[in-house]
Amino acid sequence: MGAWAEGSFENDDALDWVWELKEAEDTAILEEVFSVVTDNDDYLEAPDCSIAIAAAEVVAAMRKRSAAKLPPEVQAYVTRIGDSAGPDLATAALAALKRVKTKSELQELWDDSKNAEKWHKAVEELESRLKG
């Protein structure tokens, strides 16, 4: 996996997905990402998990609780869509994060790395911004 770090946008899968935000007109793109993670019991592949984390970060930004550094595409999407991320979307993001951090390929990869604690802390910090 290229460009792999614990931050929400520090991997190729998330950054590739961010480009899709340019065409998005509403929050359906976020809802779709969360449903991929939460609506099936299959093994979650790392790319889907990385995208779910990025999408959760977008929801946090829409709720005025963004990370310090967002890609320009995310900033443009949030400006265009506004604060239409209601409690249901935040709940969906939190459910997706829970699944990613406890039962996924991405979680397994991180748990096998020397930076596992950093990744778990980054996800927990994102969760706290979504709850707040």
- pLDDT score recorded for residue 3: 47
Mean pLDDT of 113-117: 91
| Structural domain count of the chain | 1
What proportions of the chain, in percent to the nearest 5, are helix, strand and coil? 65, 0, 35
pLDDT > 90 in the chain, percent: 77
Mean pLDDT of 3-18: 86
User: Does a structural domain hold residue 103?
Assistant: yes
* Closest listed residue to residue 66, CA positions, set 5, 8, 18, 4: 8
User: Does a structural domain hold residue 6?
Assistant: no
- pLDDT score recorded for residue 16: 94
User: Does a structural domain hold residue 7?
Assistant: no
Provide the domain limits for residue 115: 12-131
pLDDT beyond 50 at 109: yes
Structure confidence at residue 68 as a pLDDT band (50, 70, 90): confident
User: Does a structural domain hold residue 16?
Assistant: yes
Q: Would the pTM of this model clear 0.75, i.e. be above it?
A: yes
User: Does a structural domain hold residue 68?
Assistant: yes
